[in-house]
Amino acid sequence: MQRSGVLRPAFQKLVAEHPASFLWYHVQGAKFPAPYHYHPEIELTYVAESRGQRFVGDSIEHFETHDLLLLGPNLPHVWLNEAGCRKAEAFVIHFDTAFLGERFLCAPELTDLRKMIHRSSRGIAFSPAIGKLIGPKMLDVSRRKGAARLLGLLEILATLSENRTSRLVCGSSYEKPLSREDERRIDAVYRHLNAHFRETVLEPDVAKIFGMSAGAFSRFFHAATGRTFIKALGDLRISHACQKLRDTDKTVAEICFDSGFENLSNFNRQFRARKEMAPNEFRERLLANEEQLRSAISPSSGFFDWNFSAKYRRM
């Protein structure tokens, strides 16, 4: 039986197969399998290979290889691969704020780490260059045993806490969900948008697909995501446009229509509202730093030569 009103992502309970102070996952397949969900543990996720859109709290952004995020407790999230993606691989670490004792983070030497953990309630995104540095360290942690394994995680967290180029992902007004609801519907809505945002998408039509009136759907979506349906759709389209401006030689007009906008003036207006610059200026800034950007995201370190036998491994 469907219920109208506020709908929330799934609560996920994580259980270690063996005694451990934190969990390490290796996720690999054609697509990332997890639905829109949340859990009380802090999550560090490194995308070793893939691209698409990630939904975190009230944020919708493009992601690709070397994407690195630190997500605070109960912050809902999902990574959705773009059409045509044939491989998705990530390293994930889950740990509790008190994984080394209730007073551990109160140590004066850990002031930066404590502040980072607090900021993670809105999600923290790190640059591709930092991701490229941390990814191998996360893999190394999975190979360690005993105290060395724990020290490896602390080294990663210390490195991240000293980084000054990170940014918050969610808006200051975002409130994380506090109760469990029907996650299937919001997850399905996000997947529907991710598959159809380049087409004509009308909120009443989407509401009808999910068996709701337009008004009930509007209230549900805003309560569940912290944004209106129209803003979420626009964010998804602008995120796609940014990726095309960076990775293709298509004209701004071509990218406008490829991203689902029906006219150029509306595209330019929405792009400027979100990026504080015109699409051409966005592309020019990227081109001006092309060599630096390629160095940051290029898999030239031999990282992808590593051979993984397990498609999903938990340690």
The domain ranges of the chain are 10-172, 183-290
pLDDT digits (tens, 9 = 90+) for 194-213: 999 999 999 999 999 999 99
The CATH architecture assigned to 183-290 reads: Orthogonal Bundle (1.10)
The CA distance from 187 to 173, in Å, is 22
The CA distance from 80 to 239, in Å, is 13
Look at phi and psi of residue 226 and say left if phi exceeds 0, alpha if psi is from -120 to 50, else beta: left
Burial class (CB in 10 A: 0-12, 13-18, 19+), 84: exposed
Q: Which helix (H) or strand (E) holds 216?
A: helix 214-225
Mean pLDDT rounded to a whole number for the chain: 83
| CB 17, CB 190: distance < 8 Å | no
| CB 125, CB 69: distance < 8 Å | yes
Task: Using the predicted structure, report yes or no on whether residue 298 has a pLDDT greater than 50.
Answer: no
Q: Residue 303 contacts by C-beta under 8 Å, 6 or more apart in sequence? A: 48, 132, 135, 136
pLDDT digits (tens, 9 = 90+) for 250-293: 999 999 999 999 999 999 999 999 999 999 999 988 777 655 54
Could you tell me the two tokens for 242?
A: 């940014």
What pLDDT shows up at residue 107? Answer: 85
| CB 275, CB 282: distance < 8 Å | yes
pLDDT digits (tens, 9 = 90+) for 36-80: 888 889 999 999 999 999 999 889 999 999 999 999 998 999 999
Domain 10-172 class in CATH: mainly beta
